[in-house]
Structure 1
Amino acid sequence: MNIQQLKTNFSRYILGTDFSKGMVLALDMVLKISVAYYFDVLPLGISLAMGAFLVAPSDVPGNLKHRLLGMLTAVFLGVSVTLLGGFLNFSIWIELPIYFVVIFGIAYLSVYGFRASLVTFTGLIACVLGFAKLGGDNMLLHSLLIGLGGLWYIFITTVYWWLRPEKHDELLLGETAELTSKFLAIRAKLTDKNQREDLLKEQFNLQISINDLHESLREGLIGNRKRSGRSNSSRRKILIFIDLVDILELSISHPVNFNKIDDLQKEFPEVIEAFKNLINEMSNRLMHISEVFIDGKKLQFNKNTKNLIAEIEALIDTYKKTEPYPESRPMLLLMRNLLDYEKKQHEKIQSIERILETINEKNTVKLGYKKIEQFITPTDYSFRILKENFSLSSTIFRHSLRLAILMMVGILIGHFFHVQNSYWILLTIVVIMRPNYGLTKERSKQRIIGTIVGGLLALGIVLLVKNPWVYIVCAVLSLILAFSMLQKNYVGAAIFITLMVVFVYALIQPNTIHVIQFRVVDTVIGAILAILGNKFIFPSWEHLEIENTIANVIEKNIAYLKEIDTYYHNKEKLSNSYKLARKEAFLAMGNLSAAFQRTSQEPKSNQRQYSYLYRYTVLNYTFLTSLASLGTFIRTHKTTEASIYFETYVSYILNNLKLAMQKLNQKVKLEVKEEMTLKDADNFLHQENEKLNTIREKELEEGQDEISMPLRNKMQEVQLISEQLKWLHQVSLNLKNINSTATYERLF
């Protein structure tokens, strides 16, 4: 990484919303403690600051109503749990069952999703801090001040949000454009057969991140329609987001049949190189667009993309003139289809650039989307969700039970071994514990590394510097950096959390070395408990759960294929149901990629059938890319009326997918249309292709060297749609035929 890149990354970090949120939290806490110190009521200031500290994790962007309700719920949990802890002053054997029920109940609320999980984090942290006895004897006043401090933090962070309402959305758009740019760059590299498998895995992981950003943008841009509805700038951002989603779909939808691409690479490498250059140039354009959003750069234009498109058109023309005809016809159609896709991609990027150029103008912008709120993935907050998940079959239920048991173990270790600051063990368990083994193990490593590095840095500073004001400044800076890194760089966050803790204790305790020593030991104990707990206490193994994720992907692909089928027949305005089916298919595939990644992090003993899960993932991804290619072609080209052969293939493909779902213990209804067999459909396709070839031969006999546009469009349609149908059918057959005994044992 060069110096310029380091400067850019540092600038983005300082100007980002995570850093600014860390600043707001740190300034709020420092102000409260400083004022309290000035008036000689320091304990009151600490209580007020704790209120802000407890609420801050639940302050995540998105729908304003959900954001405020989430933070208010965090205040309620923080106050009520602190009060409960203050009034519990019995024998440890009486307190343990009470804490067990409370911790389980709080953790169980995370069944309501990501925002709820952050709110429950507040309640769990409040439980842990109760063991630190920071409130002294007057727990009622301490709890009240925590509530007031939390409410004050909600007020100032809401004011800050109103002052910069669109900053977070702009950064998310920039990050989405950046990752989409990288996705395109990978597509260009897929022409290399030797790297293809590794690149496809990288693509899986990248798509997970892009899907997460898409969901955040849907909630941020669409969820706050009351605000964005009055803002032309916000409407334009929604249009840019829609174009970015379309670009991802287009980039996924080609090339699909790598065998033909490999043949073209051998026969005409110049055109493959030209396509790679074109895709890389469009990737660069998206990267520049990301810099406009993230770094505030001025939008620059160039003609490189148009020139590269013209170069490819010239190469295709040269190929047509130099290669024998009609043998060259299949490759010509392939190249023209690929170029059509890239032109559509270029149009989408141009659309984003045009919108960006006028993003702050006051003329009214119409979205053209009715009921756009449908595209937000809703969260059901009904009591039914709690009831449905209250069993050992629920991952969150097992996680809550496991967490409560481990917290009891941590309390007992601290009690019987008289561990100094034993609540650090509990804090470590709460922070790193995740519902599945792989994430917990990774988080534990990061926590231990961060704690050791932070402890060594703090030790060096404390030994070299004896000035308390330096400790105060370092503690405040560490708080800002720790909070700003918590979501994206946990090792860094753990380093600065440790630094902050050590500097605070250095101000009140003379023996800082002992503080560092116990901090590291308690962190290691907590991390070991978390890893062992996830492995042996009601474990949630991804390889036992993933069959439902696979079935969900197949189900969403079925819905997407049916919408494409409907649109091919009607060719009317694209319906919201089509867009929703497409969105859900991509999200489901992203979830499967994430689940497969988590499976790869499990112990080796659980990975005996890893190759079969990999096959499921790759086949579903291949099916979705081919489906996207088919849908994109039908949407963006003038096509003829769908014939019976199309219906026959769709029927057989759907039947294969449903049979694949049956093998995943899913009950589905099989419906096979008997009007035609696949052999009949193939004969029909062959006859259609022969008819078109005959027409083209007549054109050549009449001296018409340039193929007529209607005939070219028809030949492209027959070739691409027939190829995609055959490919989709083959993939669906492969999915249906994953039926070995080893696979069955692996999945169930």
Structure 2
Amino acid sequence: MIERLKRFADSTNFTKAVIVTIASAMPLIILTQLGYFQYGIAVALGAFLTYPADIPSNLQHKVRGLLITTLIVSGCTLMVNLLHPVPLLFYPFAIVMVFFLSMISVYGQRATMVSFSGLLAIALATGHLRDGWDIAIYTALSLAGGLIYTTISVLFKLVSPHRYTELQMVECLKLTAKYMKLRGNLWEKDADREKIVEKQLHLQVELNTIHESLREILIRNRSTAGSSNRTRKMLLVFISMVDILELALSTSFDHSKLQHKFSDHPKVLDTYQNLAYNLGASLKRIAKSIENRKKYISKHNLIEDLESVQRAIESYRNALSEAEASEGVWMLLNMLHYAEKQVEKIKTIERAFTTTMNFKDLKERDKDLQKFLTPEYYPFRILKENLSLSSTIFRHSLRLTVTMIIGFGLGLIFQMQNPYWILLTIIVIMRPGYGLTKQRSFQRIIGTVAGAVIAFALLSVIKNTSIIAILAVTAMVLGLAFTSINYSIGATFVTIYVVFLYGMLTPNVREVIQYRVFDTAVGGILAFAANYFLWPAWEFLSLPVYIKKSIEANRNYLNEISLFYNEKGSVSTAYKLARKSAFVELGNLMSSYQRMIQEPKSKQKQVQQVYKLAVLNHTLVSSLASLGTYIQSHKTSKASEAFNVVVNAVIKNLDHSAALLSAETSTQAYCSDKEELAMRFTELRNIRARELKESTPDDENEFRLKMEEANLIIEQLVWLNGLSEKILTATKQLELTK
């Protein structure tokens, strides 16, 4: 429990919660002591509304984002107060601003959070209207609050500039360790392998997110602020982590076949499984050392584990005749080769935290590394392209605007005490997807009710104002820290904070909170209903696009592997970008699938078929990574005609699948190509054997090695061709209603 509390206190969420609490509470306390409580509230709100846009990034983008948010928040506050007395101007302005702020979410996460801050500012301003010079004073105070938050946040960043990077790396190491442990579980005799693969697919989504975050921090920071030894170390570790994941994906053992093959010699597989578990355990131990800021001490001797596997292979070889053992030994040596590569990568990471390293190789890659980043620019073209009902963000913006109009109208018609609470609830809860909006609606209502009950229970026994104030600040920190971790708990603590605050300010706190609970329920119901009835963006409508992108990314990855095998040389940046894209698009496909299964059953179209395509694409990525890894780690011969014929056949299958999903042509158009695509692989082996024999007629040993290469490559191509045909068949069977 103590360790968990320490991790929580060291987390980015808790740090941000502390920053916004300091930025809000400090001016409020000072101005209250000077007799300007209302001014203190205005400054505190300015700081609080700037806080959502404080997302992890390099210092330059952080400051720019917070300053823009501060200007938007104070600008919205000013315009609402100026125009509110003139309904003919106020209502059109409010509607346009709500829609526009919602639409800028098309520019990514930072823009989404800036949008969120602006929308909150509009909602709060409608509940705290000013007139005369008060408008200018409160706008200036709101601006000051945003600047105070920006200053404190930057100071925290300067005091501990690398901590966020370290915590992200910790998360990456832990997720990769979990992935490796799942691979170890596959060696269990009665393992539910379908369930394990499903867990790996879900992990892929999380790993894609954390990889993108680390690329942003490590590579963009490296280009804008120079490169320290610590940054270079983290970058080297990150590159090793990506390689470890590729290796894990690249080796798809037939576990059932292996279990059957070595059923009379279980020690071989047990020894290998122990090594597989220790690979993940080593990564987890490295993560803990970074998290706890302690020197890394290796617990598992991976070299000894490798030697144990080698001894087990020798024992197996000695127990059987050479003819009986040859196939099994060949399988085991392939497994051992994979494990050696993983140990090599993990040893690189261990050395990064235990010895002084030479980072010269990274300097040569600076230019190429920039290509792995998502571009940071905001052209008007993107906004214009999304101004149609085919855009999920456009639908969400339209839906949010209409729902806020309805919520505001209900507040006016029924003369609710604080109608802006309805607007705040709608803004906080409503998301583009139905599933998350539904989940948040229930979580917020449950959290609000639970928080109100707990707070009233505490207020009934605590009468000391100072104690209540301390509890209120504590609840605020915990509420903000938990919001992104567990929304129900976050909503509970935020409600406790609000009740305590009103408990200090007003005598009729029970009546005020009753209204808050009621308004929260109304806002939650409106948000939930709007996502179902108003221009819903059901996930099954977008899934064909995600499937198509995943198939196209796999095709591009295969094309780069083919180029590398044909041209040799070093691995190109284009190859690595294609690999990254294949991993990312697979994760996006799984994210879309996860969102769909959260939606109403009636809106879940072809769930099994979609999942089947996700698994097939995952298997295809794994097979491609296996082929690419083999070619990178072995001295290979000249690519044969056979290789290129089959690669072209696989690419055609994938192109056909992508074309079907974009409705570019009909299924019948491909029937005439069937014979061309179906190559006889026995003939391909004969072609390759003839080519090799002609090139090395006298060297039997070299010929044997090249035939081994040929067989491995052909086996992968057989598997790839089969997968591409299954994807094409599954795509033809997929009937997603648009």
Q: TM-score, normalised by structure 2?
A: 0.93
Alpha-carbon shift at residue 80 of structure 1 (Å): 1.2
Ranges in structure 1 where 5+ consecutive residues have no aligned partner: 1-5, 700-706
Residue 509 of structure 1: aligned partner: 506
What does the per-residue CA deviation read over 1:281-329, in whole Å, with 9 as the maximum and x for residues that have no partner? 0111000110121111221125532222112112222223333444543
Alpha-carbon shift at residue 28 of structure 1 (Å): 1.8
Alpha-carbon shift at residue 468 of structure 1 (Å): 1.4
Residue 704 of structure 1: aligned partner: none
Residue 184 of structure 2: aligned partner: 188
Q: What letter corresponds to residue 135 of structure 2 in structure 1? A: M
SS of aligned partner of 1:738? helix
Alpha-carbon shift at residue 252 of structure 1 (Å): 1.4
SS of aligned partner of 2:730? coil
Q: 2:103–2:394: 8 Å Cα contact kept in structure 1?
A: yes
* Farther-moved stretch of structure 1 (675-684 vs 384-393): 675-684
Residue 172 of structure 1: aligned partner: 168
Residue 459 of structure 1: aligned partner: 456
Residue 341 of structure 1: aligned partner: 338
What does the per-residue CA deviation read over 1:107-135, in whole Å, with 9 as the maximum and x for residues that have no partner? 11111011100000010000110122165
Alpha-carbon shift at residue 267 of structure 1 (Å): 5.6
Residue 726 of structure 1: aligned partner: 718
* Farther-moved stretch of structure 1 (721-730 vs 172-181): 721-730
Q: 1:389–1:397: 8 Å Cα contact kept in structure 2?
A: yes
Residue 206 of structure 1: aligned partner: 203
SS of aligned partner of 1:181? helix
Q: 1:475–1:503: 8 Å Cα contact kept in structure 2?
A: yes
Q: 2:646–2:679: 8 Å Cα contact kept in structure 1?
A: no
Which of residues 597, 606, 631 in structure 2 aligns to 1:609? 606
Q: What letter corresponds to residue 170 of structure 1 in structure 2? A: E
Alpha-carbon shift at residue 96 of structure 1 (Å): 3.7
Q: What letter corresponds to residue 29 of structure 2 in structure 1? A: S
Q: 1:442 to 1:268 in 2, by over 3 A?
A: farther
Q: Counterparts in 2 of 1:15-414, with a 5 A limit?
A: 15-90=10-85, 95-133=90-128, 138-192=134-188, 194-226=191-223, 229-264=226-261, 266=263, 268-302=265-299, 304-358=301-355, 366-371=362-367, 372-414=369-411
Q: 2:640–2:691: 8 Å Cα contact kept in structure 1?
A: no
SS of aligned partner of 2:476? helix
- C-alpha separation between the residues in 2 aligned to 1:483 and 1:57? 10
Q: 1:203 to 1:303 in 2, by over 3 A?
A: closer
Q: 1:320 to 1:131 in 2, by over 3 A?
A: same
What does the per-residue CA deviation read over 1:690-730, in whole Å, with 9 as the maximum and x for residues that have no partner? 9999xxxx99xxxxxxx97x677546533432221111111
Q: 1:43–1:135: 8 Å Cα contact kept in structure 2?
A: no
Which of residues 713, 722, 735 in structure 1 aligns to 2:727? 735
- C-alpha separation between the residues in 1 aligned to 2:103 and 2:503? 37
Residue 435 of structure 2: aligned partner: 438
Alpha-carbon shift at residue 366 of structure 1 (Å): 3.9
Q: Counterparts in 2 of 1:659-698, with a 5 A limit?
A: 659-665=656-662, 667=664, 679=679, 681-685=681-685
Pair 1:624-2:616 in alignment: no
Q: 1:592 to 1:258 in 2, by over 3 A?
A: farther
Q: 1:47–1:135: 8 Å Cα contact kept in structure 2?
A: no
What does the per-residue CA deviation read over 1:34-87, in whole Å, with 9 as the maximum and x for residues that have no partner? 111121112222111111111111011113332222212211210111112112
SS of aligned partner of 1:510? coil
Alpha-carbon shift at residue 521 of structure 1 (Å): 1.9
SS of aligned partner of 2:127? coil
Alpha-carbon shift at residue 155 of structure 1 (Å): 1.8
* Farther-moved stretch of structure 1 (159-168 vs 295-304): 295-304
Q: 1:332 to 1:368 in 2, by over 3 A?
A: farther
Alpha-carbon shift at residue 520 of structure 1 (Å): 2.1
Pair 1:11-2:41 in alignment: no
Q: What letter corresponds to residue 724 of structure 2 in structure 1? A: S
Q: 1:50 to 1:677 in 2, by over 3 A?
A: closer
Q: 1:644 to 1:506 in 2, by over 3 A?
A: same
SS of aligned partner of 1:737? helix
What does the per-residue CA deviation read over 1:448-476, in whole Å, with 9 as the maximum and x for residues that have no partner? 22222212211111111111112211111
Q: 1:551–1:666: 8 Å Cα contact kept in structure 2?
A: no
- C-alpha separation between the residues in 2 aligned to 1:661 and 1:336? 38
Q: 1:452 to 1:217 in 2, by over 3 A?
A: same
Residue 702 of structure 1: aligned partner: none
- C-alpha separation between the residues in 1 aligned to 2:686 and 2:492? 66
Q: TM-score, normalised by structure 1?
A: 0.92
What does the per-residue CA deviation read over 1:347-367, in whole Å, with 9 as the maximum and x for residues that have no partner? 0000001111136x8987744
Which of residues 527, 531, 548 in structure 2 aligns to 1:530? 527
Alpha-carbon shift at residue 482 of structure 1 (Å): 1.9
- C-alpha separation between the residues in 2 aligned to 1:115 and 1:506? 35
- C-alpha separation between the residues in 2 aligned to 1:326 and 1:88? 90
Residue 557 of structure 2: aligned partner: 560
Q: 1:599 to 1:712 in 2, by over 3 A?
A: farther
Q: 2:58–2:221: 8 Å Cα contact kept in structure 1?
A: yes
Q: What letter corresponds to residue 73 of structure 2 in structure 1? A: G
Alpha-carbon shift at residue 408 of structure 1 (Å): 0.8
- C-alpha separation between the residues in 1 aligned to 2:534 and 2:365? 48
Q: Counterparts in 2 of 1:491-506, with a 5 A limit?
A: 491-506=488-503
- C-alpha separation between the residues in 1 aligned to 2:80 and 2:301? 66
- C-alpha separation between the residues in 1 aligned to 2:72 and 2:264? 67
Aligned sequence identity (%): 37
Alpha-carbon shift at residue 608 of structure 1 (Å): 4.2
Q: 1:453 to 1:490 in 2, by over 3 A?
A: same
- C-alpha separation between the residues in 2 aligned to 1:623 and 1:183? 18
- C-alpha separation between the residues in 2 aligned to 1:324 and 1:667? 58
Ranges in structure 2 where 5+ consecutive residues have no aligned partner: none
- C-alpha separation between the residues in 1 aligned to 2:591 and 2:412? 40
Pair 1:475-2:472 in alignment: yes
Q: 1:110–1:117: 8 Å Cα contact kept in structure 2?
A: yes
Alpha-carbon shift at residue 410 of structure 1 (Å): 0.8
SS of aligned partner of 2:661? coil
- C-alpha separation between the residues in 2 aligned to 1:323 and 1:690? 33
Alpha-carbon shift at residue 95 of structure 1 (Å): 4.2
Q: 1:264–1:272: 8 Å Cα contact kept in structure 2?
A: no
Alpha-carbon shift at residue 271 of structure 1 (Å): 2.2
Alpha-carbon shift at residue 609 of structure 1 (Å): 1.3
Residue 3 of structure 1: aligned partner: none
SS of aligned partner of 2:192? helix
Q: What letter corresponds to residue 140 of structure 1 in structure 2? A: A
* Farther-moved stretch of structure 1 (93-102 vs 633-642): 93-102
Alpha-carbon shift at residue 613 of structure 1 (Å): 0.7
SS of aligned partner of 1:298? coil
* Farther-moved stretch of structure 1 (514-523 vs 205-214): 514-523
Q: 1:740 to 1:657 in 2, by over 3 A?
A: closer
Q: 1:333–1:716: 8 Å Cα contact kept in structure 2?
A: no
Q: 1:546–1:747: 8 Å Cα contact kept in structure 2?
A: no
Across the aligned residues of Structure 1 and Structure 2, the Cα RMSD in angstroms comes to 2.7
* Farther-moved stretch of structure 1 (541-550 vs 334-343): 334-343
